[in-house]
Amino acid sequence: MAHVVVGSECWPFTGGASAFEVEGATVREVIASLDARFPGLGAFVDRKMAFAIDGEIHQDAWFSPVGADSEIYLIPKIGGG
Amino acid sequence: MSETLEKPAAPASGLNVVGTRPIRPDGADKVTGRAAYGADFNMPGQLVGKILRSPHAHARIVSIDTSKAKALPGVKAVITGADFPPFLADELIEGGEAASSMRDLAWNVMARAKVLYEGHAVAAVAAISNDIAEEALSRIVVKYETLPHVIDVEAAMAADAPLLHDHIFTAGVETKPDKPSNIAQRHRFARGDLAEGFAAADVIVEGRYTTKATHQGYIEPHACVCAWGEDGRCDVWASSQGAFMVRTYCAKVLGVEISDIRVTPAEIGGGFGGKTTVYLEPVALLLSRTSGFPVKMVMSREEVFRATGPTSGGVILVKLGAKSDGTIVAAEVELKYQAGAFPGSPVGPGAMTALACYDIPNFLITGWDVVTNTPKVAAYRAPGAPISAFGVESAVDELALKLGLDAIAIREKNAVKDGVKAAYGPTYRDIGYLETLAAIKDSDHWKTALKPGQGRGLAVGFWFNVGGESTAAVHLGEDGSAVVVTGSPDIGGSRASMAMMAAEILGLPVERVRPMVADTASIGYSMLTGGSRTTFATGMAVVQAAEKVVAELCARAAKLWDVPVTAVEWRNGQAVCLDAAKDAKPMSLATLAAQSARTGGPISAQVALNAQGAGPGFGVHLCDVEVDAETGAVSVVRYTAAQDVGRAIHPSYVEGQVQGGVAQGVGWALNEEYIFDANGKMENAGFLDYRMPVASDLPMIDAILVEVPNPRHPFGAKGVGEVPIVPPLAAVANAVRGAIGVRMPDLPLSPPKVLAAMDGKAG
Amino acid sequence: MSKTHVTTTVNGDPAEFLVSPRMTLLDALRDELGLTGAKEGCGSGDCGACSVVLDGRLVCSCLVLAAEAEGCRIETIEGMAQGGQLHPLQQKFLEHAALQCGFCTPGLLVASKALLDVNPDPTETEVRYWLAGNLCRCTGYDKIIRAVMDAAAELRQERTAA
Amino acid sequence: MSEVAYLAPSSPEAAAAALARAGAQPLSGGTDLLVQLRAGRSRPDVIVDLKSVPGAIGVREAAGGFVIGAATSGAVLGEHTALVKAWPGIVEGANLIGSTQVQGRASLGGNLCNASPAADGVPALVAARAVCVIVGPNGRREAPVEAIATGPGKTSLAQGEFILEFRLPPRPARASDAYLRLIPRTEMDIAVAGAGVNLVLDAAGAVTEANVALGAVAPTVLLVADAGAALVGGKLDEASLAKMEAAVRAACRPISDKRGTVEYRTRIAGVLARRAALIAYQRAGA
């Protein structure tokens, strides 16, 4: 199970919960698990959030691998100047 | 496809091209005036397009009468918001700065029911001459019902503030509000127990800091030429940070197929984030469709100020608690950022970067994204970070003064390092922050004492840097020269680094590699140039394409030698046969290229990827100022900026990025600001009164490049363009504090304010 | 609109064009003669991107009426490189990486040449003040100033050598 | 669209006749006019270029004093060694108008007739007690520089009149002037406040004549008699400087705008006048 931590952006979906364990060997599978747990969160995360997997930021990367006990922080997608 | 290169960074030794300082491949065109920018291109039979802009900061559009303009001889098209496809539901699109709201973008390009800021486009004309186009604009009659406006961010947050939109309900709060608001979103980042943290603190500092809206200030105004063919195929020539971004946005705003639009990137005369969206292109395209002629549009400088950029003005509240030894145990940061007419201020990244340089057990960071009757903000170099850093770095300076610690010591004590969890979540890897602090500590500047009347300030800054989607192709010529094609507009010299990385892999002299930026029909999709992603992500695509070419070269050599490809190795631009039995002389790239037709055809490769794992960057800046005690005039007399750049591909252009960011930051600190009158009209929409630094305002800027390689880039590169604008605001303000003995929390530090602050101290 | 016929010399060659009375020299150069090296950054004389030399004087071509140029000698960036050879200033700008986006570069080069023509051995301060009318947003000026000082030194050597 | 005509008359009479036409607008260096044309703040029917009028450009000496053609560019003034030696303040004022590029065009005549309260070229001219030679449909007349601007953008010139040249008084041995202004940057800004000081000393170094003029602190450039008087008789000792500074501040009637506040402008005017006086005194060979 990966440890997922979300910020305030996701609270409307999680009802304020910000840390939980989810199944998934890839970003795509994690998104699916999140959506199953909090309907609507999957699509929102897919569109708005980046995945910081064990310290490395992945944006729009469904097939980035997620380890058995990876730590995943969901942070707003980052652009720049 | 998505991939992360896990190979270790190539060692500095063994590199022949990377790390050297060749003359940039596009240099000759730029010093002779040949380089063609947005306004330097023309199409046969083109018309002049012009935009009518709102004189009001906030008003309902009652009616627009274009009949008199249409009747004017020489006028070929007049359009308003009603001529654009409507947007009933909102839609988010990728392609620019992460996801943008389609409807907001379309409504910003041309106002619909309401104008939301002075300068908001309300109508446009295309005519056979500039004078006729201007005359036509003067004949368009717009009836407005003016509405109360709000510009100050805190005023806009008030419950009774004039509402810009009735469809915005504050997002990011536990329960969906039942009333619309100007507050589009709340961001929160928290850890530990704030109350406990402050309870454990020996010293607490608190401050309220403010910054004004500032403009990116690129010298080239927005410009484009657009042609809409009778067959529905469109051509766009435009200066932007991303031709594919322009293509996507135009297609969405106008409701046409992406493949129907071909965008050719002009040379871009500066962007700094301000050219990561569209203003003119969809308008010019619609004028072209309506008139049947190509349409050229060029903004005036005044239009650039009134209708593009800027970045947010902000309010930053900071409370820090520390042990007497300097260990920061608690931090509370609240950020309020102007978004302009539509949601999307950079308060998110502002909040995420606010404490990114500090390892603090207990903190709460709150960010508010607030719409105001000002131009919709556009990205500006490390969007949001300089604003929050100004508050936090000023507060850390106060803390150091209270504790009697020097500016480096307190930052070393609380510095993040590998393995530490960043305030915004992830755990740091391969960062060079301590090394960068050490570089300043070791600098001649830090070791040199100040002269009487001078003050010294230090501040640090952080930026994530990003990767993302890029495509690159490498083609060999039969003479053994190479062309590198990317879809990433070159805004600061990236063609040089692309050519250098390809040359390094191929084993060619860099002069034999010609880098090109292709149009959207000639290369695969590439995200815009921004976020300091190009040398990292597009560079990764270039390197992989060059590696594919090398693999092909080895395969051809293997055929010729009749050995398995595993028996061939590529060394310094030559295929070397490892099979001693064959007494085979190495074959050069040129030899193999010359035989390519007979050995299997042209040798070229393309790589499209979505690069992940960009390495975060840290900067440490040191600034000395002198203050005229009788006038309050501040002059920056010495400046040194150190930054972890991973590995500098072309050191001169890396230094240039650092020096340019510093100059913009110093301008932001001392003189630059949007000034509005009581009616919400910008009073200083020109280079005369929007005071960007001139050559005589600045000293030489010493750039120290610290190289802690990023293992996820083939040569160890990290993004460099954003970080340099983060520390200067506080570095200058901290220096002024040192010189006059008073903290100045409100930017810009213009002479009247500084003098008043000195009076306050005296009195 | 009544047009005025203007006869000038541009980079040593005769050049004639028709202009409307309100047309600026910058627009005439760019639109009538196709010399787009001079850029419009502001149209108000505050950025120097449109710098040209008019009868030996450095000016902003956006602040000169095309009609005023009657009978004048005009030098633009297009005339700086001679016979396929870059001027030492152009060469030094490249060597010192004194440009990034390059939009302000033609104006800076024209202005720098005008400085070295009257002051072959300027101090850093003199260079900075002479160029104060040429805005650059990319470089922080550092490498530009170094390139101009270096070009000045090289030109002084050439003179003594000659 | 209104038809615009461009004329470049080659005699004072022709220029006066052209300027007498309705909607005529004089053009000197053009560094203000072209900006106004572009912004639509000026919509002339006829643009009358004065630079071809004999005498409008150049510096000459007559009757022991200098005569400056009103359309002479700042760059030309800066290169005139004798003028710089005698009137360094007038030249530094003219040379503070805009960039090097603007210096190649901008003139004292244009700077004065644009009638901006912050005109850098004007205070030192006023302090010099310079006289304008005005040409018009009814011939020539003379007027002191301070009589030209009557308010922001307004002048006392009648339709058809233009300034042909400025006449400076003869320069005694120990005399000099200085002009200082304050701007937020080091270059390229409009003055927040400016001060021109012109001093004549006797053999012993005592001030026998002093004129102090201020810019950007009133609707027009101010000649502050009390400030000048405060310096006469002394050698710029602290007491007389303080008295002069007080007189300067008392005379200020500025506005608050995006470039400065009433308080700041008033205070800075004193600082600048004091500094300018000390420079002028130094230059006068004290």
Q: Does C111 touch chain D (CB under 8 A)?
A: yes
Instruction: Give the end of a domain, one of B611, B626, B656.
Output: B611
Closest chain D C-alpha to B4 CA, distance in angstroms: 47
Per-residue pLDDT band for B88 (boundaries 50, 70, 90) equals low
- CATH number for the domain including A24? 3.10.20.30
Contact at CB, B216 and A81, closer than 8 angstroms: yes
C45, C129, C130 ranked by CB distance to D102: nearest: C45
Give the pLDDT mean for B732-740: 98
- pLDDT tens string A2-16: 999 988 888 888 888
Strands (E), B247-341: 261-265, 295-298, 314-322, 328-340
Q: Any CB–CB contact under 8 A between D249 and chain B? A: no
Q: What is the DSSP letter of B562?
A: T
Q: Judge contact between B734 and D243, C-beta under 8 A.
A: no
Which residues of chain A lie closer than 8 angstroms to B4, CB-CB? 56, 64
Residue B195 is encoded by which pair of tokens? 């109350």
Handedness of CA D48, D53, D56, D58 (dihedral sign): positive
Would you place residue B13 in the very low, low, confident or very high pLDDT band (cuts 50, 70, 90)?
low
Cβ within 8 Å, pair B722-A80: yes
Q: What is the pLDDT confidence band of residue B92, given thresholds at 50, 70 and 90? A: low
Q: Residues of D with CB below 8 A from B763's CB?
A: none
Name the phi and psi angles at B241, rounded to 5: -85, 0
Report the residue of chain D nearest B138, measured CA to CA.
D1
Distance from CA of D188 to the nearest CA of B (A): 7
Cα separation, C104 vs C47, whole angstroms? 8
Instruction: Specify if B340 maps to a domain.
Output: yes
**B138-194 confidence digits (pLDDT tens):** 999 999 999 999 999 999 999 999 999 999 999 888 778 999 999 999 998 999 999
**Per-window interface: C 38-97 vs B, CB < 8 A:** 38-44, 46-47, 49, 76-78, 80-81, 86, 90, 93-97
Min Cα–Cα distance to chain D from C1, Å:
6
Q: Is residue B69's pLDDT more than 50?
A: yes
In whole angstroms, what is the distance from residue B561 CA to residue B587 CA?
10
Concatenating the DSSP letter of every residue in C86-117 gives --HHHHHHHHTT--SS-SSHHHHHHHHHHHHH
Q: Which chain B residue has the Cα nearest residue D264?
A: B752
β-pair type (D139-144, D175-182): unpaired
Give me the residues paired with residue D131 across strands: D144, D167
- Inter-chain touch B531–A62, beta carbons under 8 Å: no
Q: From the list C47, C90, C125, which residue is nearest B219 (CB)?
A: C47
Name C149's Cβ contacts closer than 8 Å, sequence gap at least 6. C122, C124, C127
Among C105, C133, C141, beta carbon nearest to B30: C105
Give this prediction's pTM: 0.96
- Restricting to D residues 111-140, those with a Cβ less than 8 Å away from any Cβ of B are none
Structural contact between residues B237 and B227, judged by C-beta atoms closer than 8 angstroms:
no
**Phi and psi torsions of B559, nearest 5°:** -60, -50
Taking the CA atoms of D279, D280, D283 and D286 in sequence, report the sign of the dihedral they define: negative
Structural domain ending residue among the three candidates B568, B595, B611: B611
Mean per-residue pLDDT of chain B = 94
Identify the domain containing residue A54 by its residue range. Answer: 2-76
The C-alpha R_g of chain B, in whole angstroms, comes to 27
Domain end among B427, B457, B478: B427
pLDDT at B666: 98
Nearest chain C Cα distance for residue D160, angstroms:
20
How close D202 gets to chain B, by Cα (Å)?
31
A44's tokens: 């929102």
Q: What is the pLDDT of residues B470-501, one digit of tens each?
A: 999 999 999 999 999 999 999 988 999 999 99
Q: Which residues from chain B sit within 8 angstroms of residue C101, using beta carbons?
A: 218-220, 267-271, 491-492
What is the Cα–Cα distance from B282 to B246, expressed in whole angstroms?
9
What does the H/E/C string look like for D64-106? Answer: CEEEEECCCEHHHHHCCHHHHHHCHHHHHHHCCCCCHHHHCCC
Cβ contact, residue pair D185, B688, below 8 Å: no
Question: Residue A36's pLDDT is what?
Answer: 95
Distance CA B232, CA B234 (A): 6
At residue B89, does pLDDT exceed 80? no
Which of the residue ranges B12-21, B87-96, B370-379 would you say has the lowest mean pLDDT?
B87-96
- What is the tally of structural domains in chain B? 2
Domain that holds residue B170: 149-427
- CATH number assigned to the domain comprising residue B589: 3.30.365.10
Identify the residue whose tokens are 């943290």. Answer: B197
Q: In Å, how far is C161's CA from the nearest CA of chain B?
A: 26
Q: What is the mean pLDDT of residues B574-587?
A: 93
Residue B396 sits in the same domain as residue B248:
yes
Same-domain pairing of B304 and B164? yes
Considering the domain architecture, whether residues B346 and B263 belong to the same structural domain is answered as yes
Long-range contacts formed by D201-208: CB under 8 A, 24+ apart: D201/D174, D201/D175, D201/D281, D201/D284, D201/D285, D201/D286, D202/D174, D203/D174, D205/D174, D205/D235, D205/D286, D206/D233, D206/D234, D206/D235, D207/D231, D207/D232, D207/D233, D207/D234, D207/D235, D207/D236, D207/D281, D208/D232
Query: CA nearest A76 in B: which residue?
Result: B348
Instruction: Say what the pLDDT of residue B3 is.
Output: 40
- Which residues does chain C have within 8 Å of residue D18's beta carbon, measured at their own beta carbons? none
Asked if residue B667 is part of any domain, the answer here is no
Considering the domain architecture, whether residues B413 and B488 belong to the same structural domain is answered as no
Residues of chain B with C-beta less than 8 angstroms from the C-beta of A47: 92, 99
What is the DSSP track for B158-175?
STTSPPS-SS---BSSSS
* B7 confidence band (pLDDT: 50, 70, 90): very low
Of B258, B262, B278, nearest in space to B96 by CA = B278
Give the count of Cβ contacts less than 8 A between chain C and D. 94
**Which of B187, B610, B613 faces A8 most closely, judged by CB atoms?**
B187
* B4 or B510, which is more confident: B510
Q: Which two tokens stand for residue B3?
A: 């991939």
The predicted structure's pLDDT at residue B90: 65
User: Is the four-CA dihedral B28, B31, B35, B37 of positive or negative sign?
Assistant: positive
Q: CA dihedral defined by B356, B360, B361, B363, rounded to 10 degrees?
A: -70
Provide the pairing of β-strand B223-228 with B234-238: antiparallel
Instruction: Decide yes or no: CATH 3.90.45.10 for domain D175-283.
Output: no
pLDDT (0 to 100) of residue A9:
82
Chain B residues in contact with A72 (beta carbon < 8 A): none
Helix ranges, D95-168 (H) = 100-103, 108-113, 122-127
> Which of helix, strand or coil describes residue A26?
strand
Average pLDDT over residues B735-751: 97
Alpha carbons B60 and B114: distance in angstroms, whole number: 4
Block mean pLDDT (10 aa), chain C, length 162: 89 95 96 97 98 98 97 98 96 98 98 98 98 98 98 94 79
Q: Which residues in chain B are closer than 8 Å to D186, comparing Cβ atoms? A: 635, 694, 696-697
Same domain flag for B356 and B489: no
Q: What angle do CA B278, B25, B616 make, to 5 degrees?
A: 60
Q: Are B556 and B500 in contact (CB under 8 A)?
A: no
DSSP state at residue B421 = B
Pairwise CB contact (< 8 Å): A81 & B188: no
* Torsion over CA: C81, C82, C88, C89 (sign): negative
**Tokens at B707, concatenated:** 């190289």
Which element (helix H / strand E) includes D62? Answer: strand D59-62
Q: Do chains C and A touch (3 or more CB pairs under 8 A)?
A: no
Q: Which chains touch B (3 or more CB pairs under 8 A)?
A: A, C, D
Considering the domain architecture, whether residues B375 and B492 belong to the same structural domain is answered as no
CB contact under 8 A, D101 and C24: no
**Closest chain D CA to residue C6:** D6
| Per-residue model confidence (pLDDT) at position B9 | 37
Query: Do residue B293 and residue B414 come from a single domain?
Result: yes
Mean pLDDT of B596-600: 95
A56 lies in some domain: yes
Q: How confident is the model at residue A18 (pLDDT cuts 50, 70, 90)?
A: confident
Band (pLDDT 50/70/90 cuts) for residue B12 is: very low
**Residue B597 placed within a domain:** yes
The answer as to whether A81 is a domain residue is no
Q: D261 in contact with B at a CB cutoff of 8 Å?
A: yes
Give pLDDT, residue D234: 94
pLDDT confidence of residue B741: 96
**Chain B from 421 to 480: CB within 8 A of any A CB:** 424-429, 463-469
Q: What averages of pLDDT result for each successive group of 10 residues across chain D (286 residues)?
A: 84 97 96 94 94 97 94 97 98 96 97 97 98 97 98 96 98 96 95 98 96 98 98 96 98 93 96 98 90
Distance between A53 CA and the closest CA of chain B, angstroms: 7
Within B591-660, strands assigned E span 604-611, 617-627, 634-644
Rg (CA), chain D: 19
Residue D211's DSSP bridge partners are D198
Count of structural domains, chain A: 1
What whole-number distance in Å separates Cα of residue B369 and Cα of residue B378?
A: 14
The pair of structure tokens assigned to D57 is 């450009």
Tell me if A62 is assigned to some domain.
Answer: yes
Q: Which of D258, D263, D275 to mutate to test the interface with B (most CBs of B within 10 A)?
A: D258
> For chain B, percent helix, then strand, then coil, each to nearest 5?
30, 25, 45
How close B531 comes to chain A (CA, Å)? 3
Q: Which of C5, C23, C60, C75 to mutate to test the interface with D (most CBs of D within 10 A)?
A: C60
Residues in B 380-409 with any Cβ partner in A closer than 8 A: 380-383
- pLDDT the model gives residue B38: 96
- C18-60 residue pLDDT tens: 999 999 999 999 999 999 999 999 999 999 999 999 999 999 9
Do both B423 and B547 map to the same domain? no
For residue A5, give both structure tokens: 């931590």
The whole-number pLDDT of residue B6 equals 38
Q: Which residues of C touch D73 (CB under 8 A)?
A: 57
Q: Can you say whether the dihedral through the CA atoms of C138, B495, B462, B424 is positive or negative?
A: positive
Note whether C18 and C5 are within 8 A (CB): yes
Q: Is C104 on the interface with D (CB under 8 A)?
A: no
Kindly state whether residue B171 falls inside one of the protein's structural domains. Answer: yes
Chains in contact with D via at least 3 Cβ–Cβ pairs below 8 Å: B, C
Helix (H, G, I), strand (E, B) or coil at B546: helix
Domains of chain C: 4-79 (3.10.20.30), 88-161 (1.10.150.120)
pLDDT at residue number B1: 37
Query: pLDDT tens-digit profile of B422-438?
Result: 999 888 999 999 999 99
Residue D112 half-sphere exposure toward CB, CA atoms < 13 A: 31
Q: Collect all residues of chain B within an 8 Å Cβ-Cβ radius of residue D188.
A: 687-688, 691, 694
What percent of chain B has a predicted confidence (pLDDT) above 70?
96
Beta strands B701-706 and B634-644 are parallel
